[in-house]
Structures are given as structure tokens and as C-alpha cells.
């Protein structure tokens, strides 16, 4: 009954401060070992501990020269932020705000224009992202120059790759899709059928799927007698929350 009452107090506290937890975030309370009247609160998402609120007297008396530490300490592990509060309500409000700010889609207000050749591609990408050119031998193309463009986020993660290369083997769109499926067993056209999408006048086949339950992948394929174009992106964990609109904007702004 005591644990249930504590849970009700926790929910009431969230309601009073006008906060609700983001989707997928849970909170559990644990009675302090050294102070039975106080509780610590653990915040989790996708079975990962992301935050902790703990009273200063939770695991020891914390008494120094007659000083008792009655503060509450909040730790949000996803961006290594920590703060100190006079009440658990203040700590709870801070934690929920930190979680909401972290788990929300990025809103990009500054874009950079990029025009490269080869591969011949123009697009817009976030001002603080970077790009890298390279070569790829996918699809049996005998390209004599750079044929791959990769966009990386601020953390250096590869988010999008675009391959535009000569169609040396004269493959059809269906054939390059099948080659991709041979290299990536998570691609299943029966489970995730493709649909058509037009990108700057060219009609691509596209589909998305989960990869090993940790990544969302989407692919775009196009081939004619002269060239092959492949676009692919993969989003992990928080990236699936932050980047969908960013990636959509980048792809919609591509010109050939």
C-alpha cells in the first residue's frame, strides 16, 4: 500500500507541475535505504536508464558538522546534465523538461546549399552537418570518379548516402533492388512492399524497414540505361525522433 501511495504522489506531483512524461518514458520510485521517508526516482526509455532524482540523504545520513543535506539531485544521463534542487517537485519539473527537450524532433532553421559533381547532386542540409565524397562499387558500376555522397550529423554519424553512378551492367530498377536485398537481409519486399516516389522528375521505388530492431532504414532505387541512383538512410534510437523531418526535407530538395 505504501508503494502504491508513493506512486500516486508521484503522478500527482507531475500533474501539479503541469508536466506529463513523453511517450515511452517510464518512472519508478525506490525507497531510500538510509532514509525510509524519502524516495529516489529512476527514469527509463527503451529499457535504458536515462535519468535519476535522488535526495541528498538517500543512501547515508550526509551529516557533516550538524549539516544535513536536504537537497535533491537530478542527473539526466543522455546529455550528462546535473543540477541541485531544494524540493523534489523542482527536481521533477527540471527532469521532465530535460527529457522533453532531448526527445523532440530537431527544428532546423539554418540550411547550407551543396552542389557537387561528381556525383552530380544538389541539395540542402543542416548548417552544422558535414558531407563526405567517396567511391562505391555497388551495382557492378565501373565508375572512374567519385560516385557517393554521405551526409553526417554533428556527432559524426552517417545519416544519408546518395550513390549516383554509371549503369555499366545495364541493370533494371528491379535488379538493383534485388542486389540490395542480397547485401541487406533485412530488406523484405513481401513484408514491406515498395511504393513509387518522384524526386526531381525521376521516379524511384522506395520502402522502409527495421534493421536488427535498433535502426529504421529507408531505401530509394532508380535505374535507366545510363545511370543508377540509390539513396539510403538509417536512423538509430534518438535519431528516429530527431531527424525524420530533416531527412524528408533533404530528400525533397534534391536536384539532379
Confidence of residue 58 (pLDDT cuts 50, 70, 90): confident
Beta strand spans in 80-214 (E):
81-85, 111-116, 121-126, 130-134, 148-152, 158-166, 195-199, 202-211
What backbone phi and psi angles, to 5 degrees, belong to 32?
A: -65, 140
* pLDDT score, position 18: 53
* pLDDT score, position 66: 64
CA distance 47 to 22: 15
Could you report the per-residue pLDDT of 213-242, keeping only the tens digit for each? 789 999 999 999 999 999 999 999 889 989
Does pLDDT of 12 surpass 80? no
Does pLDDT of 256 surpass 50? yes
Residue bearing the bigger pLDDT, 90 or 64: 90
Does pLDDT of 158 surpass 60? yes
Domain spans of the chain?
2-102, 111-252
The CATH number of the domain covering residues in 111-252: 3.40.1000
CA distance 39 to 28: 10
Q: What is the grid cell recorded at 193?
A: 512492399
Residues comprising the chain, all counted: 256
Provide the H-helix boundaries in 184-255. Answer: 239-242, 244-252
Provide the H-helix boundaries in the chain. Answer: 2-16, 88-102, 173-183, 239-242, 244-252
Q: What is the grid cell recorded at 181?
A: 536485398
Does pLDDT of 11 surpass 70? no
Could you report the per-residue pLDDT of 70-92, keeping only the tens digit for each? 899 999 998 888 999 999 999 99
Could you report the per-residue pLDDT of 107-122, keeping only the tens digit for each? 999 999 999 999 999 9
Average pLDDT over residues 246-251: 97
* pLDDT score, position 65: 58
pTM: 0.77
* pLDDT score, position 16: 39
Residues 245 and 105: beta-carbon distance below 8 Å: yes
Mean pLDDT of the chain: 89
Amino acid at each position: 500500500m505504501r508503494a502504491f501511495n508513493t506512486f500516486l504522489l508521484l503522478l500527482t506531483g507531475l500533474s501539479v507541475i503541469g508536466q506529463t512524461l513523453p511517450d515511452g518514458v517510464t518512472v519508478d520510485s525506490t525507497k531510500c535505504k538510509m532514509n525510509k521517508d524519502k524516495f529516489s526516482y529512476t527514469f527509463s526509455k527503451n529499457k535504458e536508464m536515462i535519468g535519476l532524482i535522488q535526495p541528498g540523504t538517500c543512501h547515508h545520513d550526509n551529516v557533516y558538522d550538524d549539516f544535513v543535506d536536504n537537497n535533491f539531485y537530478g542527473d539526466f544521463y543522455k546529455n550528462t546534465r546535473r543540477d541541485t534542487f531544494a524540493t523534489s517537485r523542482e527536481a521533477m519539473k527540471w527532469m521532465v523538461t530535460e527529457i522533453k527537450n532531448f526527445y523532440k524532433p530537431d527544428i532546423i532553421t539554418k540550411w547550407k546549399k551543396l552542389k557537387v559533381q561528381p556525383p552530380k547532386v544538389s541539395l540542402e542540409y543542416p548548417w552544422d552537418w558535414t558531407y563526405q565524397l567517396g567511391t562505391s562499387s555497388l551495382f557492378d558500376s565501373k565508375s572512374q570518379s567519385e560516385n557517393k555522397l554521405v551526409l553526417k550529423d554533428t556527432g559524426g554519424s552517417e545519416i544519408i548516402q546518395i550513390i549516383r553512378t554509371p549503369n555499366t551492367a545495364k541493370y533494371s530498377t528491379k535488379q538493383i533492388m534485388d542486389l540490395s536485398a542480397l547485401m541487406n537481409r533485412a530488406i523484405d519486399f513481401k513484408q514491406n512492399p515498395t511504393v513509387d516516389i518522384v524526386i526531381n522528375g525521376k521516379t524511384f521505388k522506395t520502402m522502409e524497414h527495421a534493421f536488427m530492431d535498433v535502426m529504421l532504414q529507408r531505401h530509394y532505387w532508380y535505374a535507366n540505361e545510363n545511370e543508377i541512383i540509390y539513396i539510403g538512410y538509417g536512423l538509430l534510437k534518438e535519431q528516429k525522433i530527431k531527424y525524420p523531418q530533416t531527412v524528408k526535407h533533404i530528400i525533397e530538395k534534391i536536384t539532379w
